[in-house]
Amino acid sequence: MTAIAPGTLPKSSPRGSAARARLLRGLLPALSLALVLIAIAWLNPRAISYFGFNLMLNLAIPIALATIAQMFVIAGNELDLSIGTFVGFVGCVTATWLRDAPLLGILVLIGSIGVYALLGALIHLRNLPSIVVTLGMSFVWQGLAILVLPKPGGKAPDWLLAIMSFKPPYIPFPILAALIIAAVVHFGLMRTSYGVILRGSGGNAAALRRAGWSLLKTKIVLFALTGLFGVLSGMALIGITTSADANIGNGYTLLSIAGVILGGGEFVGGRVSPIGAVLGALTLALAASPLLTFMHIPPDWQVAANGAILIIVLAARVLISRRER
């Protein structure tokens, strides 16, 4: 299980220690997840079971999907500060229209992906800072969510509930889902030729343009993929919580960014790793609540735990990178 993305590999170095450092760096997301799991197993061995994982990783699927969504924009050197409220908006649509008027619901969700694609085009054409545009959009999604569902409530469509409460044999569903998400996105982004172009738009946009690729198109595709995974995240979330609330996704913006970075992604240069991002999301999902509960740390410090993990992992990465040189 290696989380090294081909794109994150610098030119091969003759020195073995540098190669080892690179491997270590690639394994860092998996190591941090393992560390959290070991801590949980040590504090409460009974949690490491089919039932325990189902419970602990309950919310990991939507977090992983939102993290993948964020990863696509980060691959293009942009940042989406609206993904949290977008997930909330999708949740509200899922719990209302998608159940009562499926056709309308589907159209609205596809339309919202279209809005993401348009944002990508707008950001590219006008050379706008994505932080500000998406920060503005976060208000739009939140407002729309309140308009769709003024009061917490609604109900998830039955088929969605059925999917999310699926109990496969032996492997807990959240882990199975995480594996599938990671495998699909890894294949699409790291193993296909257009995936290379997409990452290249973040790595060296000028070179891509000279090679004749449309940067407008790559940006539109990256943003549309973000929208698509945001929609999946919102639907998965409602499939678990069964009802919605306009603020349900607000925490996902920061979680998703943290997950991408934990997973070895970098803000610039198109260096991202889908497998790492999923691992990062799982680490955050586990560290945020189950670990703290077992350590008898009050929920007040949940957010701090996320911050501390980020800082520790980044510090570890700096130590490793130093050896890489």
Q: What is the dihedral of CA 71, 77, 78, 83, to 10 degrees?
A: 10
In whole angstroms, give the CA distance from residue 127 to residue 213: 18
- Per-residue contact string for residues 267-286; x = within reach of other proteins by CB under 8 A: xx------------------
User: What 8-state DSSP symbol labels residue 265?
Assistant: -
CA distance 86 to 116: 10
Verify binding: residue 95, other proteins, rule CB under 8 A: no
Encoding tokens for residue 10?
A: 């610098």
Binding mask 159-188 for other proteins (x = CB under 8 A): ------------------------------
Question: Could you tell me the smallest distance in angstroms from the CB atom of residue 192 to other proteins?
Answer: 28
Distance of alpha carbon 130 from alpha carbon 69, whole angstroms: 15
Distance of alpha carbon 247 from alpha carbon 31, whole angstroms: 33
Give the Cα separation of 197 and 200 in Å (integer): 5
Minimum CB distance to other proteins, residue 149 (Å):
10
Give the residue, chosen from 1, 103, 206, 318, that forms a contact with other proteins under the rule CB under 8 A: 318
Is 276:3 a contact under the CB 8 Å cutoff? Answer: yes
When the beta carbons of 47 and 123 are compared against other proteins, the nearer one is 123
Interface residue with other proteins among 1, 158, 298, 325 (CB under 8 A) is 298
- Contact between 207 and other proteins by CB under 8 A: the answer reads no
Residues numbered 217-276 forming contacts with other proteins, rule: CB under 8 A: 254, 257-258, 261, 267-268
Residues forming the site for other proteins (CB under 8 A): 79, 122, 126-129, 131-133, 135-147, 150, 254, 257-258, 261, 267-268, 298, 300-308, 310-311, 314-315, 318
